Every structure is written in C-alpha cells, then in structure tokens.
Amino acid sequence: MTSGQQLRLYNSLGRRLEDFTPRGASAGTSEVGLYTCGPTVYSFQHLGNMRPYVFSDTLRRVLRWKGIGARQVVNITDVGHAVADSDTGEDKLEVAAARERRSVEEIAAFYTEDYFDRMAALNVRPADAYPRASEYVPQMVEFAARLSEKGYTYELPSGLYFDTSKSPGYGTLALLDLEGQREGARVEQVEGRRNKSDFALWRAEEPGSRRVMRWESPWGWGAPGWHLECSVMSMALLGEHFDIHTGGIDHRELHHVNEIAQSEAYLEDGQPWVRYWLHNEFILLDSEKIAKSAGHTLRLADLEEAGYHPLAYRLFLLGGHYRSQLDFTTAAMDAAQATLRRLVSRVAPLRPLPSVSTLEEARALVPAGDVPSREGGASREGTAAAEYISRLDAAACSDLATPTILATLQESLRDPAVPEAGLRVVVAAADALLGLRLGDLELREVEGRRSASDLAADEVERIERLVAERTQARKEKNWPRADEIRAELDALGVQLTDTPSGPLWELR
Ligand SMILES: [Zn+2]
C-alpha cells in the first residue's frame, strides 16, 4: 500500500520504459549504485552542462521517495580528455593551462570549485564521491593491461587501442551497426587503426613532445584515454556491476558505447555491466546544441547577473521532461522566475513545512481523516491531500515526469478542497521531488532586480490607469470587470494591496 506505484524508467539500452528493480533487491539490500559522467574541469560549465546533474539529482530524489537509498559517484575529469573528444591531440586541461598561464592543477582546482558552487546554487545534493581521474591512473594502467592480456588490444606508435571487432555486442547502446560506426563521422583518422571505431586506452607521447601530465606505462610515457576513467572509477567505488549509469545524450553514441565495450571485455562474465542507462536530452540555445566548442558559453553566472535566481533555471529545466529537448530563451527564463516567485509567495504562509523525503513519510503525515479508506472505491473515499500525494507518486514513477509534478503542485495550491495541514504535506512532498527549496527560499531572493523604478514612464502610466479603472469598477460594483483588470495587472507582475486609503501596488 505505502510503496505506491512501480517506478518505471526509460532505459537507453533497448530504448524502452522498464520497471526499475535494484540489483540488490533480491539480496535484501536496497542501496542502488549510480554513476554520473561528470565535468571536464578546464573551463566554466555552460548552461547545457548543468542539465545532467539536475537530472541525476531528480533521479536520486525519486529513488529516495521510493525508499531506495542510492550511492552516487560523479567523476571529475582532470586529465585524459583530449580536445574534440578525440584520441589524439592535446589534453583539454593542458590547453587551458597554457591559455590562462596557470598550472594544470590550478586550472583543475579552480574549475572544480566553480562546478561545486554552481551545483550548490542549483540545490543539487552532493554526490557520495567525486573521484579525480588523475588519482586513478595506476588503476587505469592495470585495467588496460588486463585487456591487453586477454587479447582485446593492439599497440600503435600513438598508443594502446581497444579492438572493437573483438567485442561482440559493440555499439548495442547506440543501436549502431558496426559498419555504420566504422564509417562514423565523429571518429578521427588514426594511422594504423584496425577499425574506425577502435579507441585509445592509452595515449602515448608523440616522439619529441612531452606532455605536462604524464605517467609511465607498459606502452611508454603518456596519459590514459578518456573513456577508461569512467569504467575504472565506477568499478572501484561501486563494485564491478552497478545499477544505473547516467549522462548527457551525446555520450550514448560514443563514450558510453566504449565504456561498455571495455568493461564487459574486462569482466568477461556474460552479464551486462550496468543494467540501466539513462540519458538526458540537450538544451537548445537558438535552436542548436550548446557546445563548448561552438563558442556559446552562456553560464549560470550570466543568468544570475541578469537578475535570475539559479533555482529559476532549475525550475526551467524541471518544466521539461529530461528526455525532451528544451529551448532556452529569455522569455522561458522570465516565465520560470515568475512561476518560482508565485510559488514562494503562495507557500510562504504555509511554513514551516514538515520534513518529507519519502512517499511513506508523506502518507504518514497526511492528517487524520485524510487517508483513503481501504474499503470502497478509493478515490472518492480518499480526501484531497492524500489524492495529491498519490498523483505526485504516479508522476515521479512515470520516468520522472517533473512537468506533471510541477503542475500537480500548482493545482493543489489553487484547490480549496485541500485543508491547510494537508496542503503543507503536499507541498513538502512535491518539493522533496523538485528541490526548489520551497521550505526556506525567501521571496526577496526571487524578486530579481525588477522594481517600479526600473519601469519606463509609459509602463507606470499604464499600470496606474488600470488600478484607477479597477477602483472605479469596484465603486460601480462591476465585479467581473474588477477581476478582469486584476488578472491583467497580475500578468504584468503587479501585486495589489487594498488599503482603507485606496489600493497600493508594487511589482512582485
Ligand atoms: Zn563517463
């Protein structure tokens, strides 16, 4: 009864909605292992880069809601990621260090710190571990050596390569036919490579050049290939097999395909390495993918400077399903900020909100007399708050349907049938899933910089005229007209307070 709906997630492996069953469920443990591909810390993360983490945070919140504990690992790529995601060429960190005249360590430390700050601003809960690639190089060398012993690799002057023709299921995740991948556009030409889809496990130093970040290996001095770190660090921290791997959809076609190939070759136990692969879609800026390389670098800090609250961006993200592409526009951000402001101003009088993080807690807190009867036809017997809790659960279990959760919350706040005590629980439950800090966010934090003094004279004139018209309509007891004008003012962001000496207005 209290477990609610079955959690269903869209698995990229097979491209279908599936019931989620934790690996440990049969063994009686319920902690789920979750690995999320993390940032390459060579520059500020742009807006599109934030989505995978808000998405994986939502996933964790939903797991928690279902009473499933999760251990999340997010890697910090501070070595191994070559420019253009290629196997050869310079390391992104080294390029950044040269550009900024700082050491690679300084570059990594600076941008890692900035990443953590942004995550906190977006109310993304910290992961349980943030392994740095540079700290796992010996394990990566061991991993590659084992693949080599098993005959999955070959050596070229440019490094050690994984032979994808030896991997029977290669490309399943991306729905690739091998021939297609071998002709794929994204792969670069490497002299001597047997198949175009083969990738570097170890990137050897070119003769005469010396990398800044370099380690010794059986294949000479060099640095690990980019894909290797995720296999090695996830297994080191979550065990050889774990439940869920997440990342941006661009990883589905190459990075995750290669992670799977090398991991299953390493394990050779006939089991899928990871059961559930979840991918979030892109954010579109001017209808094209925001790519760091394309020079679009709109960042969260830019939004804050423009007067938006970071949680308005979180709300913008949650307003779309994680598998839908989202168009980032100023109008959409304005709408998100206005929605957040309305939510906070509506919820503030209900505080303090009860502490709720699971469905079970929410159900236990719905006040006496507000619990659906076990007899009889459920929904009509159940009172309003309990029904809203069930609807939140259904939305969360339906592949993390955050737009529905948001809409359900807004509906409950307008619904006169929900008693205040019950409404508090509904709001706390919704926010356990959404993470918008509805329990403590101050209205002044989401007011932005907009105030009456920012308005142009004609805007002020228009508002004053509407306020006067409404006063006149009220005098004439023309209530429909008065309400109409009030709605119009509301749409302009004007808050009206009626006082004995007449109405006062201000901008929300
Ligand atoms: Zn990864």
The Cα 198–Cα 258 span in angstroms is 9
Amino acid 369: pLDDT: 61
203 and 87 in contact (C-beta within 8 Å)? Answer: yes
Amino acid 294: pLDDT: 45
Please give the DSSP secondary-structure letter assigned to residue 313: H
What is the Å distance from ligand 1's center to 310 Cα? 26
Amino acid 290: pLDDT: 45
Task: Determine whether 352 is exposed, middle or buried from the number of CB atoms within 10 Å of its CB (0-12, 13-18, 19+).
Answer: exposed
The Cα 344–Cα 436 span in angstroms is 9
Amino acid 149: pLDDT: 97
**Nearest Cα residue to 143 out of 158, 157, 153:** 153
The Cα 482–Cα 15 span in angstroms is 53
Question: Taking the alpha carbons of 197, 42, 135, 102 in that order, is the dihedral positive or negative?
Answer: positive
Amino acid 180: pLDDT: 53
What is the Å distance from ligand 1's center to 38 Cα? 7
Task: Give the length of the chain.
Answer: 508
52 and 212 in contact (C-beta within 8 Å)? Answer: no
Amino acid 25: pLDDT: 66
Q: In this structure, what are the phi and psi dihedrals at residue 288, rounded to the nearest 5 degrees?
A: -135, 155
What is the Å distance from ligand 1's center to 182 Cα? 21
Domains of the chain by range and CATH?
29-294 (3.40.50.620), 306-445 (1.10.730), 451-507 (no CATH)
SS3 content of the chain, % helix, strand, coil (to 5): 45, 15, 35
Instruction: Look up residue 486 and give its two tokens.
Output: 């009030």
Which residues on neighbouring strands pair with residue 284, listed in sequence order? 289, 327
The Cα 158–Cα 210 span in angstroms is 13
Residues with CB under 5 A from ligand 1 (ion): 37, 230
Amino acid 150: pLDDT: 97
The Cα 284–Cα 293 span in angstroms is 15
Residue 446's Cα: distance from chain center in Å?
21
What is the Å distance from ligand 1's center to 255 Cα? 6
pLDDT lower than 70: segments of the chain: 1-2, 25-30, 80, 83-88, 176-189, 286-296, 368-382, 448-456, 508
What is the Å distance from ligand 1's center to 277 Cα? 12
Which residue has tokens 């094209």? 288
The Cα 393–Cα 402 span in angstroms is 11
Which residues on neighbouring strands pair with residue 498, listed in sequence order? 503
Amino acid 69: pLDDT: 94
| 174-203: b (≥16 Cβ within 10 Å) or e | bebeeeebbeeeebeebeebebbbbbbbbb
- Give SS3 for 497: strand
Instruction: Look up residue 247 and give its two tokens.
Output: 């990342």
Amino acid 350: pLDDT: 96
What is the Å distance from ligand 1's center to 121 Cα? 24
Instruction: Look up residue 90 and give its two tokens.
Output: 């310079």
What is the Å distance from ligand 1's center to 226 Cα? 8
Amino acid 2: pLDDT: 53
The Cα 462–Cα 470 span in angstroms is 12
**Nearest Cα residue to 203 out of 37, 97, 83, 89:** 89
Q: In this structure, what are the phi and psi dihedrals at residue 172, rounded to the nearest 5 degrees?
A: -55, -45
The Cα 65–Cα 396 span in angstroms is 9
The Cα 432–Cα 199 span in angstroms is 42
Amino acid 51: pLDDT: 97
The Cα 487–Cα 81 span in angstroms is 53
Which residue has tokens 């439950």? 429
The Cα 262–Cα 265 span in angstroms is 5
What is the Å distance from ligand 1's center to 30 Cα? 24
What is the Å distance from ligand 1's center to 293 Cα? 19
Question: Taking the alpha carbons of 102, 104, 109, 115 in that order, is the dihedral positive or negative?
Answer: positive
Amino acid 504: pLDDT: 79
- Give SS3 for 481: helix
Task: Determine whether 442 is exposed, middle or buried from the number of CB atoms within 10 Å of its CB (0-12, 13-18, 19+).
Answer: exposed
What is the Å distance from ligand 1's center to 342 Cα? 38
ω into 352 cis (within 30 of 0): yes
* Residue 378 neighbours by CB under 8 Å, 6+ apart: 372
Question: Model confidence over 170-182: pLDDT tens digits?
Answer: 888 888 665 555 4
Please state, as a whole number, how many other Cβ atoms lie within 10 Å of the Cβ of residue 157.
10
What is the Å distance from ligand 1's center to 332 Cα? 30
What is the Å distance from ligand 1's center to 228 Cα? 8
Please give the DSSP secondary-structure letter assigned to residue 33: E
What is the Å distance from ligand 1's center to 74 Cα? 9
What is the Å distance from ligand 1's center to 86 Cα? 14
* Residue 275 neighbours by CB under 8 Å, 6+ apart: 11, 13, 23, 243, 244
Beta strands in 286-401 (DSSP E): 288-289, 326-328
The Cα 261–Cα 263 span in angstroms is 6
What is the Å distance from ligand 1's center to 34 Cα? 12
CA separation, residue 488 to residues 33, 460, 462, 478 (Å): 50, 14, 11, 16
Rg of the chain (C-alpha set):
27
What is the Å distance from ligand 1's center to 471 Cα? 61
What is the Å distance from ligand 1's center to 40 Cα? 10
Virtual CA dihedral for 375, 378, 381, 384, nearest 10 degrees?
150
What is the Å distance from ligand 1's center to 237 Cα? 14
* Residue 81 neighbours by CB under 8 Å, 6+ apart: 40, 42, 91, 92, 93, 226
